[in-house]
Amino acid sequence: MAAVLLASGASAGAVTDPSSQDPVGKTAASIAATIGHKGLAGYLSELSLTSHLSSLTLEESEFSKGSAEVEAELTVNSVSNRSLEGSEDQVSLKNTLAAVRNAAQAAARIQSAFRARSFRKRQHKEAGVSIDDYGISSRDIQGLSALSRLTFRNPRDYNSAAISIQKKYRGYKGRKDFLTLRQKVVKIQLV
C-alpha cells in the first residue's frame, strides 16, 4: 500500500493532523515505527530526508558540500568498521549502512544549507544598516526622527501649554493684586 502511494506521488514527509496526544502530528515513518514495521519506517524516513534535501533551493559552496559529505561518510565508516562477521549479516548490514549513509549525507547537507542560509540572512541584515553620503546610518535616522517627534509636538500641545501658563500668570497676578490691595487697606486703617 505504501509503495503504491509513493509511486503515485504521495509525499513521504506528510504529517497527520495534530491531536491532543500528538500536537505536532506524525509522519508516515513514525506511524510505521509505532506499529512495528521498522524496515518500512527506515525507508520512509530516508525517502523523506532525500526529498526534503532535493526541495531545498539554497545555494551551497563547494567547501560546505564537501565538508558535509565527508562528515557523514566518516560517521558511517566508523560504524561499518565495527561490522559483524558472517555472510548473511554482512549483506544486510551493508544495505542498512547504505541507507544510513544516504540519510546521514542528507542530514549533513540540510544542516550545511541552513548554516549557509542563516549566514546569508545575517549578512543581509548587516548590509541593511547602510551609511548614506553624510555618514548617517538608517538606525541613526530612525533615532533622530523619534527625537524630533518628541521635541516638535503638534500645535494643540503648544496651545494647551500657553493656556496653562496664562492661568498661572492670572492666578499669580490676581494674588499679587489682592496682596497689594490688602496692604493699602491696612495702611488706610492705620491712618
| Exposed / middle / buried, residue 49 (Cβ in 10 Å: 0-12, 13-18, 19+) | buried
Cα 136 from Cα 154, distance rounded (Å): 26
Domain that holds residue 29: 1-55
- How high is the pLDDT of residue 173? 77
- How high is the pLDDT of residue 84? 47
DSSP string, 126-139: HHTS-B-TTS-BHH
Query: Are 133 and 78 found together in one domain?
Result: yes
Domain count, the chain: 3
SS3 of residue 106 by DSSP: helix
Query: Are 137 and 183 found together in one domain?
Result: no
Query: Are 73 and 147 found together in one domain?
Result: yes
Query: Are 185 and 115 found together in one domain?
Result: no
Query: Are 74 and 40 found together in one domain?
Result: no
Q: Is the pTM of this model over 0.75?
A: no
Q: Which residues contact 6 (CB under 8 A, 6 or more apart)?
A: 12, 47
Query: Are 141 and 70 found together in one domain?
Result: yes
Query: Are 49 and 76 found together in one domain?
Result: no
- How high is the pLDDT of residue 81? 58
Q: Which residue has the cell 560504524?
A: 79
Bridge partners of 137, per DSSP, are 131
Query: Are 67 and 137 found together in one domain?
Result: yes
Query: Are 119 and 76 found together in one domain?
Result: yes
Query: Are 47 and 81 found together in one domain?
Result: no
Q: Are 163 and 156 in contact (CB under 8 A)?
A: no
CA dihedral 179, 181, 186, 189 (to 10 degrees): -170
Residue 113's closest CA among 168, 55, 157? 55
Cα 26 from Cα 47, distance rounded (Å): 16
Per-residue pLDDT of the chain (191 residues; tens, 9 = 90+): 666 666 677 777 777 777 888 777 888 888 888 888 888 888 888 888 777 766 665 555 554 555 656 666 666 566 555 544 556 767 777 777 778 778 878 888 888 888 888 888 887 777 665 555 666 666 677 776 666 665 556 666 777 877 877 777 777 777 888 888 888 888 888 76
Task: Out of 38, 55, 72, pick the residue that ends a domain.
Answer: 55
Query: Are 70 and 148 found together in one domain?
Result: yes
Query: Are 49 and 68 found together in one domain?
Result: no
